[in-house]
Amino acid sequence: MVSKTAVSKTVDQEVRETPKDEQAYLRLVERLSKASVEKHWEPYIDIEWDDPVMKIDLSDPRWEVPAIDSLGGHPWYKAQSQEVRSGIGLYRFANAAKVGVQFENLLNRGLYTYAFKLPNGSAEFRYAYHEAIEEGHHGMMFQELVNRTGFDIPGLPAILRLTAQFVPMLGRFFPELFFFFVLGGEDPIDYVQRRMLAEDENIHPLAERIMRIHVAEEARHLSFARSYLRRRLPQIGFIRKRILRVAIPMILGQMSRIMLAPSRAMVRHFNIPSEVMDEAYRHNPRARAEVKASLAKVRNLAVELGLVDGFTKQIWKAYRIWDEPAQAAA
Ligand SMILES: [Fe+2]
Ligand SMILES: [Fe+2]
């Protein structure tokens, strides 16, 4: 009999400390590895997919878009039938899961590429493998959810499915950029899932279980990526820093849009009028503020590490993801 790990009602937080030297950094990495052994979940052991309470049903209002989603307050959305409102909410949730499957696939390959060159005795090797195994489980968990919705969701746009294939190479040749890419994918989703768990009183139990497992394990991944970058950045050369200054806002601008905005496939599927999309998202200050807030932690890290200057701040502003650090507390 395989025992199940309980999923706590309190959500694990990221380790906030900044290791002051190499030894403190290594101790933190070892602590994260130990936590991965003590607290982890498996999708086909810890989620009761076939339990009737987990069943997905579009007459269930718990699948409507969450409060954080500005489409929910739009008159067009409110005028739709229960099935359409729940369908849109379910599609939104499952689309984020499908993008998560694809992102975590790239992330996993990058982690293995990164770990390939690490020396014997490396604490980072063990942690990278723990993280890759957890991301493998997340990919299975998200794909199983997508399969059970009945929607054939493509996830990333075709052009990005192709161009993103270079990302795993960064794990070997430019790990600092790779771990900013990791944060660009993980931070916005973590932000949204934490908000939903904290604020939505009426979450479907399947969505809740998936999100609780995910945020608990992501807390470790985010701690590792941030600690790794804090330790590595002072050691890299001028050219690499220059590339990071330009590449980071471009990556974050693209990734937050893909992770948080509704997909074109969904808009087509539900025939959502273009003006509704404009009013709910593109021209809606509240939706823009949520995107900026979801990037606050990674943006603050870029500032802390000297990766934003007068020129590259303009790139952040062009993507409409800039906020002054003092106002953007995580
Ligand atoms: Fe994940
Ligand atoms: Fe992760």
Please, which pLDDT band fits residue 329 given cuts at 50, 70 and 90?
very low
User: Across the chain, how many H-helices and E-strands are there?
Assistant: 15, 0
CA of residue 280 relative to chain centroid, distance? 22
Please, which pLDDT band fits residue 94 given cuts at 50, 70 and 90?
very high
Number of Cβ atoms within 10 Å of the Cβ of 108: 21
Q: Using CA atoms, how far apart are residues 217 and 137, in angstroms rounded to an integer?
A: 10
- Which amino acid, 278? D
Please, which pLDDT band fits residue 5 given cuts at 50, 70 and 90?
low
Kindly tell me if the per-residue pLDDT of 41 is higher than 90.
yes
Identify which ligand lies nearest to the alpha carbon of 211.
Answer: 1
Q: Region 260-269: what's the mean pLDDT?
A: 90
Domain 22-327 has CATH 3.40.50.150: no
Ligand 1 centre to CA of 103 (Å) is 9
pLDDT of residue 328: 45
Ligand 2 centre to CA of 97 (Å) is 13
Please, which pLDDT band fits residue 7 given cuts at 50, 70 and 90?
low
Q: Using CA atoms, how far apart are residues 40 and 214, in angstroms rounded to an integer?
A: 10
From 100, 132, 140, 104, select the one nearest 116 (Cα to Cα).
132
Q: Region 270-283: what's the mean pLDDT?
A: 95
By the CB criterion, residues less than 5 angstroms from ion ligand 1 are 138
Residue whose pair of structure tokens reads 């050691």 in the numeric block:
235
CA of residue 113 relative to chain centroid, distance? 21
Please, which pLDDT band fits residue 259 given cuts at 50, 70 and 90?
confident
| Element at 186 (helix H, strand E) | helix 175-199
Identify which ligand lies nearest to the alpha carbon of 179.
Answer: 2
Kindly tell me if the per-residue pLDDT of 3 is higher than 60.
no
Percent of the chain whose predicted confidence (pLDDT) is above 70: 95
Ligand 1 centre to CA of 134 (Å) is 7
What are the DSSP E strand ranges found in the chain?
none
Between 10 and 107, the more confident residue is: 107
pTM of the complete model: 0.92
pLDDT tens-digit series, residues 214-241: 999 999 999 999 999 999 999 999 999 9
Kindly tell me if the per-residue pLDDT of 160 is higher than 70.
yes
Ligand 2 centre to CA of 93 (Å) is 17
pLDDT of residue 9: 67
- Mean pLDDT over the full length of the chain: 92
Please, which pLDDT band fits residue 330 given cuts at 50, 70 and 90?
very low
Q: Using CA atoms, how far apart are residues 114 and 32, in angstroms rounded to an integer?
A: 18
Kindly tell me if the per-residue pLDDT of 326 is higher than 60.
yes
Backbone angles phi, psi at 274, to 5 degrees: -60, -40
